[in-house]
């Protein structure tokens, strides 16, 4: 139970940090911010796995999580701009 609450809080904080560091508008609510942070953690873990090797892809620490969330957020913003009909 507490591990789920911990992941939610961690994901929310990482998502907020990533959204603060990426310029521009990112219209998303709390749930998408949490998902951004949690997914960023696993992307950061995958990048760490590729750079230094290891036995299994796992979540990363604060720094890797924020880097992964920034990568995911930039990809999302660029995709949204390219498909915007305006």
Beta carbons within 8 Å of 36's beta carbon, 6+ residues apart: 11, 14, 15, 18, 19, 28, 69, 72, 73
Query: Are residues 36 and 28 in contact, defined by beta-carbon separation less than 8 angstroms?
Result: yes
Per-residue model confidence (pLDDT) at position 16 = 94
Cβ(66)–Cβ(21) below 8 Å: yes
The Cα 58–Cα 45 span in angstroms is 5
pLDDT for 36: 92
What is the pLDDT confidence band of residue 62, given thresholds at 50, 70 and 90? confident
Which pLDDT tens digit goes with each residue over 27-55? Answer: 888 999 999 999 998 888 888 878 877 66
Per-residue confidence (pLDDT) for residue 57, from 0 to 100: 59
pTM to 2 decimals? Answer: 0.82
CA distance 40 to 73: 9
């Amino acid at each position: 139970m507490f591990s789920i609450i911990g992941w939610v809080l961690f994901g929310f904080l990482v998502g907020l940090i990533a959204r603060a560091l990426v310029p521009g508008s990112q219209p998303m609510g709390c749930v998408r911010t949490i998902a951004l942070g949690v997914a960023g953690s696993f992307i950061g873990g995958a990048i760490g796995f590729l750079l230094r090797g290891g036995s299994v892809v796992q979540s990363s620490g604060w720094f890797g999580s924020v880097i992964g969330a920034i990568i995911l957020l930039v990809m999302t913003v660029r995709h949204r701009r390219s498909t915007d009909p305006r």
